[in-house]
Amino acid sequence: MNEAFYYTKLEKHNVQCTLCPRMCTIEEGKFGDCHARRNRNGVLSSEVYAKIAAVNTDPIEKKPLYHFYPGRKITSIGTTGCNMHCSFCQNYTLSQVNNRKPPVPTKTILPEQMAEMALKDTSSIGLAYTYNEPTVNYEYMLETARLTKMGGKNTAMISNGYINPDPLHMLLEYIDAFNIDLKAFNNDFYKKYSKSTLKPVLKTIKEISKSGKHLELTNLIIPMANSDKEEFEEMCKWIAGETGKDTPLHLSRYFPRYELDQYPTPAEVMFDLYDIARTYLNYVYIGNIATELHSNTICPSCGSTIVERTYYHIAPNGLNDDGCCKNCGEKIFRYF
């Protein structure tokens, strides 16, 4: 049994998990809402520790992280479970496993083995926690990230941002880059579509930004759900004000998935929101749609094309060896 780090023991062998804002009170033998943590005889156990459901070496742009070692690859891992329940989940076969039969197959990979895999892979810059919500495998993530950092490589977390401040602060010591999924700028959306709340996600984003760690954001655009232009504009203003105009924002096109059978996001909606975002943010990208122009990195100072992207292939023709614009010298990439 792998005891969880963040929980409180209660009466009658009950426990309260304090890892994320759900603050689940869990009876003996029961799982928490994420279906990854379980009360075993009054001790909260991580049921997914070292149980890896997916491991690949992916382009860093697939995370998506466009401003963190562009063009490189990173060892990417995931397990099962999630502390949100999005009706539109794109990776529901891993994240929404409560009633999955048969269960998702996993392979046991101990932290030392996982870190060694990432460190020995010469094509990889390090280890990324992705595919499902990494928070639910917190203890494993913390240990493998520590070992990977000790070995001189990088770590990245692709997350919904639904985590409490104390666990996040401990994690910030070992994670170099984050992509946080800001699903909407509306608490009602979070309650209806994700069974969660917005405020803790905004707090997480601000804390990561204040820490100085690399931060990118993703917003999946769902027509008639979070595509309101005024609300979207308010979100962009908030990002610019709280995390800075240089925060990369990825706008991802929605397609029907899992429990939500809404029609795919029209291309014109994506382009309209892109134009709004570009008013406030220097680096905005569109994903899940065939548009090379809206995937390129443009210098905010002189307007030159710095990096051309075709899916996960990049051509950094406008970039010098210091991560700056060849034309005007503007610093574009902190990590290159």
* pLDDT tens for each residue of 245-288: 999 999 999 999 999 999 999 999 999 999 999 999 999 999 98
pLDDT at position 60, please?
97
Per the omega criterion (within 30 degrees of 0), is the bond before 64 cis? yes
Containing structural domain, residue 165: 51-295
CATH number of the domain where residue 99 is located: 3.20.20.70
Rounded Cα–Cα distance for residues 126 and 287 (Å):
24
Q: 44 has which bridge partners?
A: 39
42 and 181 inside one domain? no
41 and 187 inside one domain? no
98 and 14 inside one domain? no
In a domain, 326, yes or no: no
CB 244 within 8 A of CB 205: no
238 and 124 inside one domain? yes
17 and 63 inside one domain? no
The candidate with the shortest Cα–Cα distance to 278, out of 236, 330, 234, is 236
Q: Are strands 54-59 and 73-78 parallel, antiparallel or unpaired?
A: antiparallel
161 and 29 inside one domain? no
pTM above 0.85, yes or no: yes
Please give the tally of structural domains in the chain: 2
* pLDDT tens for each residue of 158-211: 999 999 999 999 999 999 999 999 999 999 999 999 999 999 999 999 999 999
In a domain, 330, yes or no: no
168 and 57 inside one domain? yes
105 and 20 inside one domain? no
In a domain, 67, yes or no: yes
* Residues in the chain, overall count: 336
The candidate with the shortest Cα–Cα distance to 35, out of 104, 3, 82, 1, is 82
Residue 101 has pLDDT above 90, yes or no: no
